[in-house]
């Protein structure tokens, strides 16, 4: 994967030249963002490991069965250890492979379910990641997702078009809905300087409550229902099932992989991606090089919104088949974690989306089998973000921190002597 | 006080910034550390000042070994440091700044600034500093702020003063004053460590010169050593210090700036009615002390300011009001003054940086898609042509040395046919060897028939490159003078005199007459006695002479 080259990596992190001149005028937030975005894959991996370990400790100390088994720890220590690992075993069983399944379908059902659940996470994660790469903190995937779902679902249950075309139009509607909602944020930022974090957070509320309101209006509410839910989308407007009716997985998952490739292409092979990355890494240099930073901001937010909008389509035209107030669940917020964990690279985001899909799919069965509250999955997800945001902490835990020069206020100007053998000669 | 460094080694991981450095600073001596950027001078001084712990070696003060755990230990031992970037609180008075960190208090914790004021006056009188203890630091000129820094060290009884690149921010006149102050300090028994990469100053002030290259002491030299020899010691190979450029052959005037004005958000005019022309095949160098509108002037031409008024025409087309992309597209090559801030995307690879403003043009892009193979070809060509030292074209540009980063920017901007070339601080922070190379490229571009505008705060560079020199002071043009104009006169203009006034001021001294030359006529006579043609642009109106 060419990703590895695109992101400046370990070369900067472990001294001695220090993080080479952080742009002096960059606001602290932007510097933090850059650090998160350019974190090493190792830190991401260790963050997950650390979060899982701490999650395990939490489950162990809160689980009465562990306490009981620990009572006779010295008699049969195996029991305690088994109890500690039981929830994670259930997690794996519910997300990857069910070794107790009666037939092959039952055995691979968890894995397929993981793919299904990851699909909207991948779309929305890509939206967040793309904006990150352009230096924008897109907290608004939730609202953009809702707008995509809103428009897509409306087109899906009110229009009646030929098979194939209908789905295409629904997808386009999702792209337009999310894209407009995201592009508006970019426009406000470029035109007025409104900070995208504030704007997207507020836009999330607007979108959520607009959805709840619309679902009580005749245009959206299902005939004969008192619940705030929409009619079912036309059969032609839905993603075709991939593995038959016994699985929930649909063609949206394939689309997610294609779109991941598309985002990779945009970021690494297209002129606009070059602009996005330049604006994200050094807006001053981008401006000096003739990039229209405002235009790039609007464009990248519109694209990010469109991706989140696709996430909404994956919900209404994939798994849910109708629009409800809970269509977005917490996907838009999990997407932020997914993008961070994927280091804002498209393929990284894909894998992070799969991991989080597994957490969600497995969390349900973990709760069912071991009575471990599903909230523990949230705790683990949150811990992952926490650790990704603090790479030195993670490195310290694993003893990877380089020794620092005492009170090194400014990075030593030491590039020359050895590293560039012959800069001067 | 005698200071000795024995075998000081400082390692950062695998990198050796200082390699067994021995240095003896005798009593009442000015000891110059000469070396290029990145040679390890600053690291060594930070070790001496207690900011870094040495990996090996020891520091002896008056033949007794000492260990510094921090700057306070170093200060207690009588070592004071004046950093290149001043450590002053702008909104505090001089006395408050001097007291900061060692405040004397009266009963109930009230500040006792009177004692500090008295000390400042005392030191000021003794060394001829002329500093008012109650002036706000932000109101003081840079040269005086530097004296405040020196006072800070002296108040704390420093017997050895470390001056880190002290002249980088000064006008030539301020530099001369500083050199005088250093003489006074020396006469009163202080030792001074003077860090610089400027040969002229070092030769003027030093008792002993120690040259450092790549973390090692290359050798000592007397101040009488030839500049070329010192330069080769710094660089490690013979260097030619003069370019011997052919005289300019100006052709058509294709670039014209008329009454260009840029207002800062607070309404202050940072560029104030500037008017000049540049002909094809000519280098106009813009001189001035840092922060007198040079940045804004070049950025306004590039189209970075929406609120610039006046007119900028290239080949008869108005550039003002057009986007940066359009201006670049009109054939303007632009090297910004701060390469890491505006010229490069540090996280991007060298190859990407080499097409940073060409990425969407043929042959590097076709439609929306970029063509990585063409980008790679371009990188390979430019790396070879400009001798950019990099492990590969795919490493982040931020890992390159300053000189090589600058070569990346220059290579990119010179890689297309140009109608105008603007370079700000083209060799700032660049090693001596690369300076020569970059200067030759700039002159080659001139000889190609391109109008060239160079902005530099280094007079040496101005003298080296300029066919004509424009001097900016507080956003106004003080005049445009020919290339060979003496430094003293440029210095006066940089301090706010118009060309005529400066000539009038200088001429009597130079000509050995006592004439004041106050009237206009006298000024011109004085100027011509100085061997200078004062160029006054008719369209220039009165603005530039105000």
pLDDT score at B508 = 62
Note the pLDDT tens digit of each residue in B514-534. Answer: 444 344 443 444 344 344 444
In the predicted model, what is the mean pLDDT of chain B?
85
Of the two residues B129 and A201, the one the predictor is more confident about is: A201
Give the torsion through C-alpha atoms of A278, A282, A288, A292, to 10 deg: 50
Dist CA A399 CA A392 (whole Å):
10
Q: Go through B342-364 and write b for each residue having 16 or more CB atoms within 10 A of its CB, e for each that does not.
A: bbbbbbbbbbbbbbbbbbbeeeb
Beta pairing, strands B191-196 & B160-164: parallel
* Regions of chain A where pLDDT drops below 50: 1-27, 404-425
Q: Which two tokens stand for residue A2?
A: 């060419």
Interface test with B, best of A26, A289, A299 (most B CBs within 10 A): A289
pLDDT bracket for residue B509 (50, 70, 90): low
pLDDT score at A402 = 58
How far from each other are the two terminal CA atoms of chain B, in whole angstroms?
A: 50
pLDDT score at B241 = 65
The number of residues making up chain A comes to 425
Dist CA B484 CA B42 (whole Å):
34
Residue A335 · residue A143 · CB < 8 Å: no
Dist CA A353 CA A365 (whole Å):
19
DSSP 3-state of B247: coil
CA distances to A50, A59, A193, A285, A305 from A70, in Å? 23, 14, 58, 61, 51
Residue B382 burial class via C-beta count within 10 angstroms: exposed 0-12, middle 13-18, buried 19 and up: buried
Interface test with A, best of B299, B345, B366, B423 (most A CBs within 10 A): B345
Of the candidates B38, B213, B327, the beta carbon closest to that of A413 is on B38
DSSP 3-state of B176: helix
Q: Which two tokens stand for residue A76?
A: 């049969």
Note the pLDDT tens digit of each residue in B256-268. Answer: 999 999 988 777 8
pLDDT score at B537 = 41
DSSP for residue A63: -
Inter-chain contacts counted by CB atoms under 8 A, chains A and B: 191
pLDDT score at B32 = 92
Residue of chain A with shortest Cα separation from B51:
A407
Interface test with B, best of A416, A418, A421 (most B CBs within 10 A): A416
User: A321: alpha, beta or left, given left = phi > 0 and alpha = psi -120 to 50?
Assistant: left
Q: What is the pTM of this model?
A: 0.77
CA quadruple A168, A174, A175, A180: dihedral positive or negative? positive
Quick check: B454 pLDDT over 90?
yes
Give the torsion through C-alpha atoms of A29, A33, A35, A40, to 10 deg: 160
pLDDT score at A36 = 57
The number of residues making up chain B comes to 546
Angle between helices B432-447 and B402-413 (to 10 degrees): 10
Residue of chain B with shortest Cα separation from A280:
B345
pLDDT score at A39 = 62
Dist CA B30 CA B24 (whole Å):
11
Residue of chain B with shortest Cα separation from A26:
B341
Q: Minimal Cα–Cα distance from B51 to chain A, Å?
A: 6
Asked if B347's CB is within 8 angstroms of A282's CB, the reply is yes
Q: What is the distance, to the nearest Å, from the Cα of residue B165 to the centroid of all Cα atoms in its chain?
A: 10
Residues from chain A contacting residue B430 (CB–CB below 8 Å): none
pLDDT score at A1 = 39
Note the pLDDT tens digit of each residue in B368-393. Answer: 999 999 999 999 999 999 988 888 89
Asked if A16's CB is within 8 angstroms of B13's CB, the reply is yes
Of the candidates A38, A288, A419, the beta carbon closest to that of B347 is on A38
Residue of chain A with shortest Cα separation from B433:
A424
Asked if B396's CB is within 8 angstroms of A23's CB, the reply is no
DSSP 3-state of B162: strand
Nearest partner of B294 among B276, B319, B311, judged by Cα: B276
pLDDT score at A32 = 60
Q: Minimal Cα–Cα distance from B285 to chain A, Å?
A: 21
Q: Which two tokens stand for residue B80?
A: 């004071």
Q: Minimal Cα–Cα distance from A397 to chain B, Å?
A: 21
Of the candidates A12, A407, A412, the beta carbon closest to that of B12 is on A412
Asked if A287's CB is within 8 angstroms of B324's CB, the reply is yes
DSSP 3-state of B386: coil
Nearest partner of B499 among B532, B540, B468, B534, judged by Cα: B534
Asked if A25's CB is within 8 angstroms of B341's CB, the reply is yes
Angle ∠(B70,B75,B80) on CA atoms, nearest 5: 110
Note the pLDDT tens digit of each residue in B68-117. Answer: 888 888 888 889 998 877 889 989 999 999 888 777 777 777 778 888 89
Residue of chain A with shortest Cα separation from B349:
A6
Of the two residues B353 and B26, the one the predictor is more confident about is: B353
DSSP for residue B425: S
- State yes or no: ipTM above 0.85: no
H/E element, B277: strand B269-279
Asked if B347's CB is within 8 angstroms of A425's CB, the reply is no
pLDDT bracket for residue B198 (50, 70, 90): confident
């Amino acid at each position: 994967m060419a990703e590895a080259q695109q992101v400046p990596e370990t070369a900067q992190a472990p001294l001695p030249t220090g993080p080479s001149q952080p742009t002096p005028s960059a606001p602290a937030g932007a510097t933090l963002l850059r650090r998160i975005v350019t974190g090493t894959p190792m830190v991401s991996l260790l963050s997950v490991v650390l979060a899982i370990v701490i999650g395990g400790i939490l489950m162990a100390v809160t689980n009465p069965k562990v306490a009981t088994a620990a009572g006779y720890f010295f008699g049969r220590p195996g029991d305690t250890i088994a109890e500690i690992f039981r929830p994670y075993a259930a997690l794996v069983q519910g997300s990857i492979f069910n070794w107790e399944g009666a037939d092959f379908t039952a055995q691979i059902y968890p894995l397929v379910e993981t793919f299904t659940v990851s699909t909207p996470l991948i779309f929305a994660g890509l939206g967040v990641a793309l904006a990150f790469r352009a230096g924008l903190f897109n907290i608004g995937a939730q609202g953009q997702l809702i707008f995509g779902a809103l428009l897509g679902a409306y087109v899906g249950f009110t229009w009646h078009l030929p098979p194939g075309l209908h789905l295409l139009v629904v997808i386009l509607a999702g792209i337009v809905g999310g894209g407009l909602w995201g592009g508006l944020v970019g426009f406000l930022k470029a035109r007025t300087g409104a900070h995208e974090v504030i704007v997207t957070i507020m836009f999330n509320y607007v979108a959520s409550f607009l959805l709840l309101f619309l679902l009580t209006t005749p245009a959206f509410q299902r005939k004969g229902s008192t619940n705030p839910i929409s009619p079912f989308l036309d059969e032609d407007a839905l993603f075709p099932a991939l593995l038959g009716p016994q699985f929930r997985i649909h063609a949206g998952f394939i689309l997610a992989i294609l779109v991941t490739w598309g985002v990779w292409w945009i970021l690494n092979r297209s002129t606009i991606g070059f602009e996005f990355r330049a604006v994200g890494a050094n807006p001053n240099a981008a401006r000096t090089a003739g990039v229209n930073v405002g235009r790039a901001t609007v464009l990248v937010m519109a694209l990010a919104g469109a991706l989140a909008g696709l996430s909404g389509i994956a919900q209404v035209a994939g798994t849910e088949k109708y629009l409800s107030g809970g269509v977005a669940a917490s996907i838009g917020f999990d997407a932020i974690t997914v993008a961070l964990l994927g280091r804002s690279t498209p393929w990284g985001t894909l894998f992070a989306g799969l991991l989080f899909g597994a957490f969600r799919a497995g969390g349900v069965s973990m709760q069912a089998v071991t009575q471990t509250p599903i909230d523990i999955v949230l705790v683990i997800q949150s811990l992952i973000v926490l650790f990704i945001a603090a790479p030195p902490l993670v490195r310290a835990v694993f003893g990877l921190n380089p020794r620092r020069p005492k009170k090194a206020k400014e990075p030593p100007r030491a590039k020359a002597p050895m590293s560039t053998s012959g800069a001067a000669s | 006080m005698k200071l000795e460094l024995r075998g000081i080694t400082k390692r950062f991981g695998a990198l050796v910034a200082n390699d067994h450095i021995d240095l003896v600073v005798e009593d009442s001596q000015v000891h110059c550390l000469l070396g290029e950027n990145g040679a390890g001078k600053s690291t060594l001084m930070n070790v001496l000042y207690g900011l870094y712990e040495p990996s090996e070696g020891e520091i002896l003060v008056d033949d007794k070994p000492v260990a510094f755990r921090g700057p306070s230990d170093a200060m207690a031992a009588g070592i004071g440091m004046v950093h290149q970037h001043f450590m002053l609180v702008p909104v505090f008075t001089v006395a408050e700044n001097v007291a900061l960190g060692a405040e004397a208090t009266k009963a109930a914790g009230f500040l006792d600034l009177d004692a500090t004021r008295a000390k400042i006056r005392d030191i000021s009188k003794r060394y001829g500093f002329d500093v008012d203890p109650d002036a706000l630091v932000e109101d003081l000129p840079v040269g005086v702020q530097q004296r405040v820094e020196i006072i800070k060290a002296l108040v704390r009884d420093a017997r050895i003063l470390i001056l880190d690149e002290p002249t980088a921010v000064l006008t030539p006149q301020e530099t001369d004053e500083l050199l005088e102050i250093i003489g006074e300090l020396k006469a009163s028994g202080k030792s001074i460590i003077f860090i610089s990469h400027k040969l002229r100053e070092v030769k003027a002030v030093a008792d002993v010169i120690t040259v450092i290259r790549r973390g090692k002491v290359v050798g000592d030299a007397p101040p009488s050593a030839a500049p070329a020899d010192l330069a080769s010691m710094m660089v490690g190979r013979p260097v030619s210090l003069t370019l011997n450029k052919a005289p300019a052959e100006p052709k058509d005037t294709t670039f014209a700036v008329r009454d260009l004005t840029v207002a800062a958000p607070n309404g202050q005019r940072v560029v104030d009615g500037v008017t000049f022309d540049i002909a094809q095949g000519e280098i106009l160098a813009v001189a001035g002390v840092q922060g007198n509108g040079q940045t804004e002037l070049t950025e306004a031409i590039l189209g970075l300011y929406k609120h610039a008024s006046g007119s900028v025409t290239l080949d008869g087309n108005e550039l003002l009001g057009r986007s940066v992309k359009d201006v670049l597209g009109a054939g303007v090559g632009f090297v910004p003054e701060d390469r890491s801030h505006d010229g490069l995307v540090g996280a991007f690879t060298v190859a990407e940086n080499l097409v940073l403003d060409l990425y969407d043009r043929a042959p590097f892009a076709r439609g929306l898609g970029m063509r990585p193979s063409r980008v790679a070809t371009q990188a390979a060509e430019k790396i070879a042509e400009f001798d950019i030292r990099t492990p590969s074209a795919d490493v982040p540009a931020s890992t390159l040395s300053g000189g090589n980063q600058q070569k990346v920017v220059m290579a990119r901007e010179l890689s297309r046919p140009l109608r105008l070339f603007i370079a700000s601080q083209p060799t700032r922070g660049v090693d001596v060897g690369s300076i020569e190379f970059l200067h030759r490229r700039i002159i080659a571009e001139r000889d190609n028939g391109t109008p060239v505008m160079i902005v530099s705060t280094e007079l040496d560079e101005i003298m080296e490159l300029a066919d004509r020199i424009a001097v900016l002071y507080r956003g106004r043009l003080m005049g445009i003078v020919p290339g060979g104009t003496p430094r003293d006169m440029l210095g006066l203009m940089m301090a706010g005199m118009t060309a005529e006034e400066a000539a009038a001021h200088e001429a009597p001294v130079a000509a050995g007459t006592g004439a004041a030359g106050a009237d206009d006529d006298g000024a011109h006579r004085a100027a011509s006695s100085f061997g200078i043609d004062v160029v006054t642009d008719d369209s220039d109106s009165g603005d530039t002479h105000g």
